[in-house]
Amino acid sequence: MARVELTDKFIKGRKVETRTDFTDAKSAGLILNVYPSGQKTFSFRLRGPDGNRQRANIGHYGNISLSEARVSAADLRKRLKAGENITAAAQKAAEAKAAALLAEIPTLQLLVEEYEEIMAPKRKTWKPTVNGKASEARRRIERVFQSHLLSPVTEIGLEDLAHSMNTYVPRSGKGTANGQVSRARSYLMTMFDWAAHRNKFHKIGLGRRRKLDLVDVRQTYDPSIDDHSITGERDRALDHLELARVLPLLVWPAPECLGLKTLPIYDLRAVSLKFLLLTAARLSEMVDMKWKDYREQVGIWHKPYVKTISGPPKQQSLPLSDAAIALLQGLPNYDTRKPDDLVFPNSEGGGLDNWQRINSAIHRESQTSDWHRHDLRRTGATIMKLLGVSPRVIDEILAHNASSKDDGNSQALENYFASTHLLKHVEHPQKVALDKLADALAYIESDSQ
């Protein structure tokens, strides 16, 4: 077990492959438990006067702060020194809490926390962020339905929910809130279905342990339906002329004309956007990419965690184009790389951020507008389609849930496809497609000079 003086910066930056415990050097007995899912919890473990090791859970980081956890640890040490059986007391408190949860009607706030804890390993929208913030779904519900958080859930009616949605104003005070309200409504609807054993949660064991009599959120109006500014889809890709102006800026060191605060030699954001274009990857996948994920001998980027629209996260092995491999080999940290180092770190070794700042700078210098990082992924996919790459191969590159059924074949056929490329003398179709994409981007960039 590693011993370190815990800080908020240390906790927020921890990512692990297997559960890892860190002992706080500043507060005896305080332990930080870090899980591969990103969840971080505080616990207490220390030997009592009788020599027996005692333990107790303190709480989730984000729900309680580091300073609060140290106060709790100090209280537990005091009780332990006085001869109290901390382990037995903690078990008794947990059992009492579970009994109360089963016997009582929870408030909306407690139900949200209960559902988040269950769904965090299964749904990315319910997974707390790496810096300790609540999940996307929880934040949406808490903002839109804030006035009902302390109300027992069985007492919240359809009119109550409709009023909250109709009167919600975004924190920015600008623009329509219909999109945010629609997402909050969707998250709440699924959670209420789970608690009430409705729809996909109707089978015994899928829903909440104690069924609750809750309203069906489907009976409320979704404000996004008649909002023509919300289509549910975005159709923005950079054209030839825009790419010709943008591509020369996507290099390392970052161009000085961008006027960024980070010194150009330490700023990998611009060149990382080029990598997004070459791989059609998601921004989060690139930010989390470690050198051990790059299988250099076979030219493959192994993604241990890929988002899916439905079902649990999956893995992906993406063959890289020659241009993407050359980009990786040209990075300043390539020669000193270690397996657990990020491929595209910030100046302090952590994950890249401040994307809005560099996006605005590139918009300004390239005289382009109305595009963001995810549009680069769409641009790459669009170019491959124009180059004649089959939709099936593009789907596989994008790690979408494409199946053989789309080609008119049986679903069972999918079970007979392995994820690895077995024939050395046959070039992987995904690599062929990404090489075509790289060649097209290189032509566009050279045509701009």
SS (H, E, C) the chain: CEEECCCHHHHHCCCCCCCEEEEECCCCCEEEEECCCCCEEEEEEEECCCCCEEEEEEEEECCECHHHHHHHHHHHHHHHHCCCCHHHHHHHHHHHHHHHHHHCCCEHHHHHHHHHHHHCCCCHHHCCCCCCCCCHHHHHHHHHCHHHCCCEHHHCCHHHHHHHHHHCCCCCCCCCCHHHHHHHHHHHHHHHHHHHCCHHHCCCCCCCCCCCCCCCHHHCCCCCCCCCCCCCCCCCCCCHHHHHHHHHHCCCCCCHHHCCCCCHHHCCHHHHHHHHHHHCCCHHHHHHCEHHHEECCCCEEEEEEECCCCCCCEEEEEECCHHHHHHHHCCCCCCCCCCCCECCECCCCCECCCHHHHHHHHHHHHCCCCCCHHHHHHHHHHHHHHCCCCHHHHHHHHCCCCCHHHHCCCHHHHHHCCCCCCCCCCCCHHHHHHHHHHHHHHHHHHHCC
Share of the chain above pLDDT 90, in %: 46
**Average of per-residue pLDDT values in the chain:** 85
pLDDT (tens digit per residue) in 89-111: 888 777 766 665 555 788 899 99
Residue 70 predicted with pLDDT over 50: yes
pLDDT (tens digit per residue) in 381-430: 999 999 999 999 999 999 876 444 444 444 554 554 555 555 566 688 99
Average pLDDT in the 244-258 region? 95
For residue 251, what pLDDT is reported? 96
pLDDT (tens digit per residue) in 262-271: 899 999 999 9
Would you place residue 449 in the very low, low, confident or very high pLDDT band (cuts 50, 70, 90)? Answer: low
Using an 8 Å Cβ cutoff, are 272 and 279 in contact? no
For residue 271, what pLDDT is reported? 97
Distance of alpha carbon 355 from alpha carbon 6, whole angstroms: 28
pLDDT (tens digit per residue) in 40-61: 899 999 888 888 888 888 888 8
Average pLDDT in the 239-243 region? 95
What pTM value is reported for the model? 0.56
